[in-house]
Structure formats: structure tokens, C-alpha cells
Amino acid sequence: MEDAVSSSHIFSGRIISLQVDEVRLPSGRLTHRETVIHPGAVAVVALEGDKILLERQYRHTAKRVIWEIPAGTIEKGEAPEDCARRELTEETGYSADKMEQVFSFYVAPGYSTEIIHLFLARGLKKSSKRLDDDEEIDSMFVPLSKAVEMVRDNEIEDAKTAIGILFLDRFMGKAKG
């Protein structure tokens, strides 16, 4: 266990903030830990028959268009399931009759507090997209077998998307039932 000796909040942005802590290691040595503070997010594996709903959008950090599953940041006071439903509708124009939380995982626990809550959405119904002003997203259904190939061939590079697809592929019998 590490004990915090001091903490400095050095940056606040629209979504993240950065904190630097001085910590005492069990050995007694002092060191620093940089932590990206993130409110948490959701990712949605939306399933229609044997097809998964994927998105393509330009990601500035990657400097290219990336394949992803619908996802987004949890707003203050928002429950993860409510966020998953909101993001699915906003980004794809689909709503879901059933939204089941599958599991949660840290994105990068070595430096970030971000936890993603993965959901499985079924019973999709077309509604209308409500993209944020800074979003341009195309969505399409892809056969699960093709999506698995896209992960294997590194065409899908986004971790939450690969996790969602591989989870769905591995546990497809449960997802259909």
C-alpha cells in the first residue's frame, strides 16, 4: 500500500484533470504518481441478430478514422445504464429494449482512474441521432464474425471495442439466450 504525503491538482479540462501525488512506498521511499482523473465511461455492444453496431469516427489523438462501439463519458450524477442508453441513441439513432451491464474494467490503471462499464444492448429500435456539436460519427451493422476478423487483423485498434467484440464472440450463446 502507498500512503499519500501530498497532492497537487495541476490541470482541469472539460473531461479530465491531472493530479500529482507524492507517495510513501512500503519501503519508506518517497516517489511521485501522476493520475488522470476521469469520471468514468460506458461502452455498448449493440446486437441485432448476429450483427454488431459499429461506428467510424475521426479521432484527433490517433490522427485517423477509428472503428469503435458506441461509448461516452458518464455525466455528473448519471447512472452508467442511463449513460449507455443516452450514448447509444445520441451516436447511432438506436434505442434498446434491453440494456444489460456485462462488467467494468480500468482503461489504464497505471495512470488513470477511468473505468468503462460495458453493456450489451438488445431489442434495437430505430430512433434519431442526436450527435454533440463536436461529433461526426457514421454507424453500421457488421456481422460478428467480420468484426472478430477486424480485431484479429488489427483493423479495430480501440481497446474497449476489441474487448466488447471478443466478449460477445466468446459468450455468444448467452447473448442470444
pLDDT in tens, 92-112: 999 999 999 999 999 999 999
Pair 30, 54 in one domain:
no
Q: Is the pLDDT of residue 177 over 80?
A: no
Pair 13, 86 in one domain:
no
Pair 64, 125 in one domain:
yes
DSSP conformational letter for 112 = B
Q: Is the pLDDT of residue 6 over 60?
A: yes
pLDDT attached to residue 12: 96
Residues with Cβ within 8 Å of 10's Cβ and at least 6 positions away in sequence, in order, are 18, 19, 20
Q: How confident is the model at residue 131 (pLDDT cuts 50, 70, 90)?
A: confident
Q: Is the pLDDT of residue 171 over 90?
A: no
Pair 57, 105 in one domain:
yes
The terminus-to-terminus CA distance of the chain in angstroms comes to 43
Pair 53, 32 in one domain:
no
Write out the residue range of the structural domain in which residue 24 sits: 3-37
Name which of 45, 84, 68, 63 is nearest 139 in CA terms.
Answer: 68
Q: How confident is the model at residue 121 (pLDDT cuts 50, 70, 90)?
A: very high
pLDDT attached to residue 8: 97
110 by Cβ neighbours in 10 Å (0-12 / 13-18 / 19+) ranks as exposed
Pair 24, 106 in one domain:
no
Q: How confident is the model at residue 130 (pLDDT cuts 50, 70, 90)?
A: confident
Q: What mean pLDDT comes out for the span 131-146? A: 89
pLDDT attached to residue 172: 64
Q: Count structural domains, the chain.
A: 2
Of residues 2, 34, 75, 136, which has the active-site annotation? 136
Q: Which residues of 131-155 are buried (b: 16+ CB within 10 A; e: fewer)?
A: eeeeeebebebbebeebbebbeeee
Pair 17, 61 in one domain:
no
User: Catalytic site residue 136?
Assistant: yes
Q: What mean pLDDT comes out for the span 57-84? A: 97
Q: Which residues pair with 125 in a beta bridge?
A: 95
pLDDT attached to residue 104: 97
Q: Is the pLDDT of residue 35 over 70?
A: yes
CB atoms within 10 A of CB 158: 19
